Amino acid sequence: MEPFVAPFKFLPNSFGKLGTMKALIRSFLLSLAAVTLAGTAAFAKTPTDAMGPELWSEAMAARAVHANAVKNDRYMVVIDYRRHSSEPRFFLIDMESMTADEYLVSHGQGSDSDHDGIADTFSNISGSKMTSLGTFVTAETYYGKHGLSLRLDGLDEANSLARDRAIVIHGADYVYGGGKKIGRSWGCPALERAVAEEMIPRIAEGTLIYTRGPELDAKLYAQIVNQAG
């Protein structure tokens, strides 16, 4: 004996009711999507919100000074070494959406000899294990002892030996959140491993990196400050 299946009957105005229901569902889903996007946008920071108007103005002036070196103009990086190493101070700016993402980044052992998380000494000298300041441009990638790494070329006197010193962006286990401070490099701006793996391919081959120290050196920043107004 076959199982009994009740026939589905269309009641008068069924199509109208179904159409109304579909319209309500569609309206609800659109509203939900709008709320979700609004929430996402609310958490996205502008460069000014992320780093402050003064530093962003300096960075844009540095970009203008070194415009000929910029080959990858989708992104720009700003590093504020005035901040403690436990704070996000590596800013990746999407130049199309004008939004900034923040990440942890290391400084050199020689720049923080007492390991208190604050970089207060900078150098361009090989073997110093210090961070260099100034404006850099990213170059080619390679795989080394730290995995995927990104070479940097210094564009100023203060960082002209960056390539010779092997100052590169790479991932490191000593860079992680939640602690009082992060580990130190030998002068490289090291990132969390997962961040480095994802970011390096995007910013390779011609992205400008502007770095700021605790004091504004007159010689190093004269052009930049003048253009920034």
The structural domains of the chain, ordered by start, are 47-227 (2.40.440.10)
What is the share, in percent, of the chain residues with pLDDT greater than 90? 73
- How confident is the model at residue 226, as a pLDDT? 64
- How confident is the model at residue 126, as a pLDDT? 96
Residue 92 has which token pair? 């990746």
β-pairing verdict for 99-103 and 134-144: unpaired
Question: Are 109 and 183 in contact, with CB atoms under 8 Å apart?
Answer: no
Question: Are 48 and 26 in contact, with CB atoms under 8 Å apart?
Answer: no
In this prediction, the residues of the chain whose per-residue pLDDT falls under 70 are 1-43, 216-229
- Alpha carbon separation from 191 to 16, 160, 198 (Å, rounded): 58, 22, 11
Question: Are 101 and 91 in contact, with CB atoms under 8 Å apart?
Answer: yes
Indicate if the alpha-carbon torsion angle 187, 140, 224, 47 is positive or negative.
negative
Question: Are 140 and 205 in contact, with CB atoms under 8 Å apart?
Answer: yes
